[in-house]
Amino acid sequence: MAERVFCIDLGSEYTKVGLRRDPSADGQLVNDTGIEDTDFCYPSVIVVDRSGPSPVAEFGKKAAGRKASNGIEVKSNWKQDLFTTAGPDEPTATPLETFLRSDDLTRLAGQHGISPAQLSQLRQMVTAARELLTSTGVRPVNRAAQKQDYAAALAHRFFHWLRQEVLRECTRLPSAGLNYADIPVRVTVPAFAYGADVTTNPGCRLLTTAVTNAGWRLHPTLPVVTEPYANAIGVLTEGRNATKKGKADYGKLFARGPLITAGKDHAKYGPYRAVVIDVGGYTIDLTMLTLRPDGLLATDLDRVFDVAQKSIPLGLSALDARVFAAIPPEKAAWLRGQAWQDFDGCRVSLYTEMKPVRSGTLGLIGGSGPEGDAIRECVEQFARDIAVEVQKFLPDFGERGMNELILTGGGAGVPAVRAAVLAAAAAGGRSFTKIHSPELKKEAGKLVNKLDARFARGAAAVGGTSLYFEPSLSGST
C-alpha cells in the first residue's frame, strides 16, 4: 500500500492531478481554488518557440494563449499521437515516401517539365534505398512512429514542468512531516491502452517512461489505472477515503446513494449498476460497474464490482475535424490558428450555445444560413454517433435493480450530446434511479445530482487516488 499518492489524469485538452495526502485523507485536486474557476485544470497544450537561437518550450496557461506562426509551433493534441498506431494500408510509409507517391508531386513535376519517366526513376531510387536499409537491419520509421516519438519527447518535457507546478502548489498545503516530492504517482490511461502488464501497449510504456524520466516515482504496485474506471470511482466516492481496522472501509467510501442501499440488501434492491459516460477531447470513455452480491464485504478490489469498460477515439477533437471540413477552408484555417484558449471559447459558442463566432475580415462563422446549418448537423451527427456507441456498450437490463447514470467530460456540457447520451442510455426500457451530470435540470420524480466542475472534469484524477485502488488495503464495511 502507498499511504499517499498523486494521480495524473492526462487529458487531450486538460490535465488534472489528484492527491491523497494521508491514508484516510479525502482525495483532492491540486491547485483547486474554487468550483467556478477550475484552476485545477492544467492546459495540456505545449508551445515550441523556434524563433530564437535555440528552441524554447512553454506550457500551461502561458502556452494556451499563444498562436502558431513562423517559428511558433503549437501542439494541442499530442496525447492522441502518443497512443497512435500505424495504418494498415501503409504501415511503414515515411512522410518522404508518401509525398513521392502523391498526386501533388505529379502535378508539381509536370509544372516544372519533369517527365513521368524521370519521376518514376526518382521513386524507384527511393524504394531501392529503402530496401537497402532494410537488408542491413535498419528499419524505416513510419509516419505514426515519428509522431509517437515526438509526442513522447513532448510528454517528458510536459511532465517535468507539471511536476514543478504541482510541487509548488503543494507548498500551500499542510506539510508537517511530509515531503511531497517523495509521494508516488499513479497515471490514468485510456481503456484500449490497458493491460495486466503496462508494457503491452506502446502508448502506456511511453507515458510511464516520460513520467518517471521527469522525476516522478511510480506507484509501487498499481502505477496505472484506466480512465473510465478511475472516473467511476471518483464520482461514486466523491473523493472520500476511510479505513477500518487497517482496511479500506467501503461502507464509508461509497457512503451515499443507491450503491449502499443495494449492497446491504441485494435480494431486495439489487443488482446495482453504475454507468459512467465521459465525453472528452480524445476519447469517449464508457464504464459499467455492477456490484457483486457480496461486493461490499470483499477483501479484494477485483471482487467488489464486475467491470466493463471501453475507450473509443471519438472525442471533441473528432467533432472539430468534422466542423473544419464542413465550413469554408479559410474559416477553418482561422479557427485552427486561434490560441488554444480562444478556440476553446469558440467551441462553446458553436457547439454549446449554437451562436456564431466573429472572425474579423472573414465575417461570422456559423449562425443562421447554410454554414450554421452545416455546423449544427456536424454537432448532431457527432451526438448520434456517440449514442450508437453507448447503445452498443450497454446491455439490456431494463428496470431491474438500482442503477445510476453519470455523465462527465467536456462533451457532457454540449446540450445535443448530453440529450443524445441520455436517450441512448434509457433506450430499451433501461431505467436509472439517479442521474449525475453537469448542467442537468431537476425533474419531478427523478433523483438528479448536478455535478460541479470538480467531478465533471476531475473525477478520474480524484478517483485514481482512492484507497479503493490500494491492493493491500482491501475493504470491509
Q: How confident is the model over 94-150, as pLDDT tens digits? A: 666 667 667 677 778 777 888 766 776 776 677 666 556 555 555 455 677 788 888
Q: What is the pLDDT of residue 89?
A: 45
**What are the grid coordinates assigned to 77, written together?**
493534441
Q: Is residue 161 within 8 Å of 59, Cβ to Cβ?
A: yes
Residues pairing with 307 in the sheet:
289
* 257 vs 271 pLDDT, higher one: 271
Per the prediction, the chain carries an average pLDDT of 83
Q: What is the pLDDT of residue 396?
A: 81
Q: Residue 233 pLDDT > 50, yes or no?
A: yes
5-47+149-227 maps to which CATH number? 3.30.420.40
Q: Residue 395 pLDDT > 50, yes or no?
A: yes
Instruction: Give residue 330's pLDDT band: very low, low, confident or very high (50, 70, 90).
Output: very high
* 14 vs 199 pLDDT, higher one: 14
Closest CA to 80 of 161, 158, 150: 150
Q: What is the pLDDT of residue 127?
A: 63
CA-based Rg of the chain, rounded to a whole angstrom? Answer: 24
Give CA separation, 22 vs 178, 180, 465, in Å.
Answer: 10, 11, 11
Element (H, E) at 423: helix 415-426
Element (H, E) at 406: strand 402-408
Alpha-carbon distance of 458 to 235, in angstroms, equals 9
Q: What is the pLDDT of residue 142?
A: 66
Alpha-carbon distance of 426 to 432, in angstroms, equals 8
Please list the residue range(s) of the chain that carry CATH number 3.30.420.40.
5-47+149-227, 228-315+386-476
Q: Residue 474 pLDDT > 50, yes or no?
A: no
Alpha-carbon distance of 189 to 227, in angstroms, equals 5
Q: What is the pLDDT of residue 254?
A: 81
Encoded amino acid at 262, one letter: A
Q: What is the pLDDT of residue 397?
A: 79
* CATH class of the domain at 228-315+386-476: alpha beta
Q: Residue 38 pLDDT > 80, yes or no?
A: no
* 280 vs 94 pLDDT, higher one: 280
Q: What is the pLDDT of residue 476?
A: 41
Q: What is the pLDDT of residue 171?
A: 87
What is the mean predicted confidence (pLDDT) over 306-323? Answer: 92
Instruction: Give residue 249's pLDDT band: very low, low, confident or very high (50, 70, 90).
Output: confident
SS3 breakdown of the chain: % helix, strand, coil, rounded to 5? 45, 20, 35
What is the mean predicted confidence (pLDDT) over 39-47? Answer: 88
What is the mean predicted confidence (pLDDT) over 250-276? Answer: 82
Highest-confidence range of 34-48, 60-74, 366-380, 441-455, by mean pLDDT?
A: 366-380
Query: Exposed, middle or buried by CB within 10 Å (0-12, 13-18, 19+), for 150?
Result: middle
Alpha-carbon distance of 320 to 340, in angstroms, equals 13
Alpha-carbon distance of 428 to 398, in angstroms, equals 7
Alpha-carbon distance of 11 to 410, in angstroms, equals 11
Q: Is-cis flag, bond preceding 271, omega within 30?
A: yes
* 473 vs 409 pLDDT, higher one: 409
Among 185-189, 198-202, 260-264, 310-314, the range scoring the smallest mean pLDDT is: 198-202
CA 84 vs. chain centroid, Å, equals 14
Instruction: Give residue 316's pLDDT band: very low, low, confident or very high (50, 70, 90).
Output: very high
Instruction: Give residue 324's pLDDT band: very low, low, confident or very high (50, 70, 90).
Output: very high
Element (H, E) at 279: strand 272-279
CA atoms within 13 A on the CB side of 196: 1
What phi and psi values does residue 211 have, to the nearest 5 degrees? -65, -50
Q: What is the pLDDT of residue 35?
A: 41
Instruction: Give residue 448's pLDDT band: very low, low, confident or very high (50, 70, 90).
Output: confident
Which residues are CB-contacts of 122 (< 8 A; sequence separation ≥ 6)?
Answer: 100
Instruction: Give residue 298's pLDDT band: very low, low, confident or very high (50, 70, 90).
Output: low
Give CA separation, 329 vs 120, 326, 336, 349, 396, in Å.
Answer: 32, 9, 10, 19, 44
* 15 vs 453 pLDDT, higher one: 15
Encoded amino acid at 281, one letter: G
Q: Is residue 206 within 8 Å of 148, Cβ to Cβ?
A: yes
Secondary structure letter of residue 411 according to DSSP? G
Which residues are CB-contacts of 396 (< 8 A; sequence separation ≥ 6)?
Answer: 428, 429, 430
Q: Residue 299 pLDDT > 70, yes or no?
A: no
Alpha-carbon distance of 443 to 440, in angstroms, equals 9
Q: What is the pLDDT of residue 128?
A: 64
Instruction: Give residue 359's pLDDT band: very low, low, confident or very high (50, 70, 90).
Output: confident
CA atoms within 13 A on the CB side of 285: 29
Alpha-carbon distance of 57 to 49, in angstroms, equals 6
